[in-house]
Amino acid sequence: MNINTIEAYALSSPISPPQERSFHAGTRRLLKRDIVLVIIEAKTGAYGVAPAGASSSAMREYFQGESQGTLAEIINGPVSDALEQKRIEHPSEAHALLEETDLPAHLRIKAASAVDIALYDLFGKQHGTPVYELLNHDSSELQTQLPLYASAGMYMRPREYVDQAKALETSGFFGYKYRPGIGPSDDRETITSLCEAVDMEVMVDAHTWWKMDGHSYGPETVASLVTHASEEGVYWVEEPVEPDNYQGYIELNTFAPIAGGESEQSSEGLRSLAQTGGVDFLQGDVRHHSGFTGCLSAAKHCEGTPIEFVPHNFGTWLGLVANAHLVAAAPETRLLEYPVFEEDPVLGTAADPGMYPFDLAFDIIHGMPDITNGKLTLPDEPGLGVDVNFDVIEQYPFVDGPWTEFRYDE
């Protein structure tokens, strides 16, 4: 297939008015959410789409001034230069061409992730085949009805976490993941209260514990909280220490099930983390671990081992569907993260359990994903099987600057 154009659009979904959340070390201010939409058009006029950009830690947003705008510029510049007017018969050929560029490795991989997803969408449409069938030709191994866990709570009082979890439990989700960081005592109380209040699984996304500047929890506090979480029966504790602290993962994994991988910079990093034995759940993401190509490799690395591959997925419905195709194709991967934002039209709860507004997350596609009783059913339509709403390009112009700000106590 001959590639005609590659275009990337950085988009911003404002949080207006900005929301402030108090945590152990200060206040976090939420301003907006950013994404990048990538479109690859073939000479035939057919096109493939992809969500790009990922977690702020993966984009080094706070450390090196990078943003989703940076990623869009790179895709519209060096990436397009490398791939436009080229004949590409398989996404691996695009990866090889991008490796010849002078881009820093972490940014090249982020860009290649989007290219990989968009090419699979394009090839699927070309062949009249869903992406999950392109990824796995053995129909007996495909699973298109996928259990979801709800990913929500951030910096609330213990009782508020419980109320949110109870509201989400009525929608049939497999589990509830929340973000602690309101102080060791309150974090401990929240774990106990949640595990007593709901019948679904509870996951603790603990990255705030090591991100609080000079107020981060010390090793003894973290070990105590992880042990307490295990005693209360949590499903996993996610990123309880810095992502490069493999020894910390190994030590804490003796106390509780540990999840990690979101902040790894490559699919090779995912496999390296898995090889340490420090995680029970490996969390790759097609949006920043070399697309389907890299994440399927990491998922296969987990097959036949005690490690379960569970994709990180925190963004739009387009990102949800992309990661869902990976889960559908990987025979030993079964669970997917569902981020819960305000006014989610899929949920029929009496109280709104969303974390904050992210209208672009829903508006990016026409229609809604097929989610019933906490399970997502993928369509059998070609490519990713969704119809992207290109009006969002004008409706959500990119706003420069950080999406969130941290103000630490003196």
User: What average pLDDT is seen over the chain?
Assistant: 94
Could you tell me the pTM of the whole model?
0.96
Residue labelled with tokens 């305000």: 342
Q: Give yes or no for a contact between 316 and 361, defined as CB atoms under 8 angstroms apart.
A: yes
Q: What is the mean pLDDT of residues 101-130?
A: 96
The torsion defined by the Cα of 274, 278, 283 and 285, in degrees rounded to 10, comes to -50
Which domains are seen in the chain, by residue range?
3-128+393-408 (3.30.390.10), 134-390 (3.20.20.120)
- Give the separation between CA 344 and CA 16, rounded to whole angstroms: 17
pLDDT band at 22 (very low <50, low <70, confident <90, very high): very high
Integer angstrom CA distances of residue 223 from 133, 181, 218, 260, 393: 43, 15, 9, 16, 46
Residue labelled with tokens 């050929």: 93
pLDDT band at 54 (very low <50, low <70, confident <90, very high): low
The confidence score (pLDDT) of residue 349 equals 79
The confidence score (pLDDT) of residue 350 equals 78
Nearest 5°: phi and psi at 360?
-60, -30
- Give the separation between CA 2 and CA 174, rounded to whole angstroms: 43
- Give the separation between CA 40 and CA 110, rounded to whole angstroms: 16
Pairing of the two strands 375-377 and 145-154:
antiparallel
pLDDT band at 214 (very low <50, low <70, confident <90, very high): confident
DSSP code for 401: S
Res. 64: pLDDT tops 80? no
The confidence score (pLDDT) of residue 3 equals 98
Percent of the chain scoring above 70 in pLDDT: 97
Res. 63: pLDDT tops 60? no
Q: Give yes or no for a contact between 222 and 195, defined as CB atoms under 8 angstroms apart.
A: no
Percent of the chain scoring above 90 in pLDDT: 90
In DSSP terms, 145 is beta-bridged to 377
pLDDT band at 263 (very low <50, low <70, confident <90, very high): very high
Q: In this structure, what token pair is assigned to residue 341?
A: 């934002």
Integer angstrom CA distances of residue 185 from 21, 206, 287: 18, 14, 36
In DSSP terms, 282 is beta-bridged to 260, 309
Q: In this structure, what token pair is assigned to residue 187?
A: 């974090």
Indicate if the alpha-carbon torsion angle 278, 247, 253, 266 is positive or negative. Answer: negative
Q: Give yes or no for a contact between 14 and 32, defined as CB atoms under 8 angstroms apart.
A: yes
pLDDT band at 58 (very low <50, low <70, confident <90, very high): very low
Q: What is the mean pLDDT of residues 220-241?
A: 98
DSSP code for 133: H
